[in-house]
Chain A
Amino acid sequence: MHADEKFTYETWPAAPEKSTLESKNKFLGFWFFLGGETVLFASLFATYLALKDKVPSSSHPLAKDLFELPLTFVATMLLLTSSLTSVYAMYHMKNFAFKKMMVWLGLTALLGAGFLGLEVYEFTHYVHEGHTFTSSAFGSAFYTLVGFHGGHVAFGLLWCLTLMFRNSKRGLDLYNAPKFYVFSLYWHFIDVVWVFIFTVVYLMGMVG
């Protein structure tokens, strides 16, 4: 199959993200990259667990003093829903419904931006409380772990917008279908990481 072949609803393959050798390679390559990212985030989690609440003096706020349930819950809902919207986008892609796919990708990006906005607000609040990147080992570990995740969300957002703008005029073909699919895998993965972050950092932090 040629990458820039024109398709219709009838001729569109069942698995457009894996219909050429190039896309099969991208599919596999990206999953392997996610395997590596798993180890990367595990190392960051491990470091965080080792340095949680390690502050030089009692004037520094600890996890239980800083984190709040409502904010974390809203952020989680935003990101989790954005994962669902990306699933919808892929559903429409499989059905060759380009415009609908774009709508749901746009929703994904919006929710992701909402999550980031909330996180920026949250970090500024902590900085006011005296919990900064340089204030303690706990601070360094927290901002590195949660910040790296946020950085991944930001990168994903840019990726999503680039894909949307670049392909807005040309519809679906076998060249861009794998690109959308790989993006959706990435987006789910950052939700997976978030599930562990809200559990290990925020919830465990508040339990004490």
Chain B
Amino acid sequence: MANQQLNSGNPRVDIEYRRRKNAEEMKYQLVSFALMIFLTLIAFAAVYIKGFTSWFTVPFIILLAVVQVIFQLYYFMHMSHKGHEAPSLFLYSGVLVGAITILAFSTIIWW
């Protein structure tokens, strides 16, 4: 959902277009929200239901968390819009450094 240039020449048309675009985007946000709730419910269910081993549940819920965060970033925080190249680059760089740190702490601290 990029912020497009509005230049139909007629300001009333431009505003109507923007208004519609905003409303459409708001619908997408609601859908994202519903999906996030759904993902949360699945994650809780995976832990609540006794049938699974932790070898399955743990990677599964982490995956669900990652997907949910992608929804937050790209929809709620508009990272899918134009003008977010630098924010994306720096956020992912932070994620990379963070992931290396977490990997190190989960392995070479206690072994």
Contacts and interface: CB of A to CB of B under 8 A. Distances in A.
A203 B61 contact: yes
Contacts of B110: 50
Interface of B: 3, 6, 11-12, 15, 18-19, 22, 25-26, 29-30, 33, 36-37, 40, 43-44, 46-48, 54, 57-58, 61-62, 64-65, 68-69, 72-73, 76-77, 83-84, 86-87, 90-91, 93-95, 97-99, 101-102, 104-106, 109-110
Given A35-B90, A91-B26, A199 B76 contact: no
A127 interface: no
Given A196-B65, A206-B47, A95 B22 contact: yes
Contacts of A1: none
Contacts of B73: 192
Contacts of B11: 10
Contact of A192 (B48, B69, B83, B102): B69
A188 B76 contact: yes
A140 interface: no
Given A73-B44, A84-B33, A206-B47, A196 B94 contact: no
A163 interface: no
Contact of B68 (A9, A35, A43, A195): A195
Given A80-B33, A80-B37, A191 B19 contact: no
B97 A188 contact: no
A13 B3 CA distance: 12
Given A46-B101, A94-B22, A207-B54, A83 B106 contact: no
A38 interface: yes
Contacts of A196: 65, 69
A38 B95 contact: yes
Interface in A121-147: none
A interface majority secondary structure: helix
B69 A41 contact: no
B61 A28 contact: no
Contacts of A83: 33, 72, 76
Given A9-B15, A31-B86, A46 B106 contact: yes
Contacts of B43: 198-199, 203
A31 B91 contact: yes
A18 interface: yes
A204 B58 CA distance: 6
